[in-house]
Amino acid sequence: MPRHVKIAGTAARVALGLFVVWQLLFLLSSNVLSVADAVRAALHKSPPAQRVAPDLFDGKGAVHAGFRSVERLRDLAGYERVVVGRR
């Protein structure tokens, strides 16, 4: 088998693997974000949660910025947002 065919096959497998990993991470983070607002409301008065991520509940800080950037990626990808507890 020619060398360039082997290289193309390996590159295709690597690209597919990276795509699968990206989709896995994206879908997991999107699902976590779909319940993030409900969890944030439930933990707002929790002292341990305030110690771990105090700015999250005020809508600022690194954790909040990370949530929002994944939400923007989800919106760009065209995934519909599911609100927990509503039909």
If one compares 4 and 49, the residue with the highest pLDDT of the two is 4
Residue 43 pLDDT: 73
Residue 35 host element (H or E) = helix 3-43
CB 36 within 8 A of CB 68: no
Between 66 and 36, residue with greater pLDDT: 66
pLDDT in tens, 9-50: 999 999 999 999 999 988 887 777 777 767 777 777 777 777
**How deeply is 87 buried, as exposed, middle or buried, from its count of CB atoms within 10 A (0-12, 13-18, 19+)?**
exposed
% of the chain exceeding 70 in pLDDT: 85
Residues 57-67 have a mean pLDDT of 75
Which pLDDT does position 84 carry in this prediction? 56
Do residues 38 and 84 make contact, with C-beta atoms less than 8 angstroms apart? yes
Residue ranges of domains in the chain:
26-77
